[in-house]
Homo-oligomer: A and B are copies of this chain.
Amino acid sequence: MRTVEKALRLLDLFDDQHPDLGLSELARLSGVDKATVLRMLNDMAATGLVEQDTQTRHWRLGAGLLRLARLREAAFPVSRVLTPILEHLAQATGETAHASLLAGRDLGTVGVAESTRPTRVSLDPGLVLPLHATASGIAFTAFARPDLREQVLARTLSGVTHATPTSRAALSDLIAQAQARGYALADQTFESEVYGVAMPLFGPDGHAVGALAVASPSSRISDAHLKTIVTTLAPAAKEATLAMGGRIPATLKIVL
């Protein structure tokens, strides 16, 4: 693998449960030699992508990320545009809403508005959504650039739950359904007891760049509830696409 990519993969080892990691820990998790990992970390620290706790000597994501993210937001205000949409969506459906954008090989969560109900779906901050195992991923892939879609289909698909599609045929079916309906449904394909409804967000070229989704406890899903979610989600996704400067393809149809 390319060295730069290997180094950047280290960043993905940090998550909600592991906000800081030691050198040996990072080496073990990444399967790379300690000495190499240390050099990579120092290189990344030089630009603020990671930083080291002076006391524990552990590493964490750096303040440079905040600066770069702000810079991106200034040019392409995504979070700012999505936040009110997500909040309205959560309020109107009573369920947790989230938005994600393609970041590398998967979707990265860039905004969440939680439901206020006592039982609700809760998402870890910065969660990565696999393209084949989530409603968001399916909705995105169904409307992504064809070459990208083909890449996803060609991947070896890891099973996450019992309902995760692991064969090319199964995934292809789900994608076809999403293309026909204009949105994707996923019952416990990523997280048990979670039912996801997702619609694609489009870029200026009319291909998907991300997804807008509502996640509900599976137990609360009924035909009526599903209908509410879909009819609320549709205008929200449209608004989000337009606000981000995207173009909705003329062929898109939302089928209840």
Main secondary structure of the interface of A (DSSP, over half): mixed
Inter-chain contact B66/A101, CB cutoff 8 Å:
yes
A64-B104, A71-B14 known; A47+B78 contact, CB < 8 A:
no
- What total of chain A residues lie within 8 Å of the partner, measured CB to CB? 62
Cβ-defined contact, B125 with A4, below 8 A: no
CB within 8 Å for A62 and B126 given contacts A47-B9, A75-B19: no
The 8 Å CB contact of A15, one of B8, B12, B71, is B71
A5: contacting residue among B5, B47, B76, B78, CB under 8 A: B47
> Which among A43, A55, A70, A210 has the highest number of chain B CB atoms within 10 Å?
A70
Residues of A within 8 A of B (CB): 2-5, 7-9, 11-12, 14-16, 19-20, 39-40, 43-49, 51, 54-55, 60-76, 78-79, 101-105, 108-110, 125-126, 128, 145, 203-205, 207, 210
Q: Name the 6 nearest CB pairs between A and B, nearest first.
A: A48-B103, A71-B126, A19-B75, A67-B108, A69-B69, A64-B103
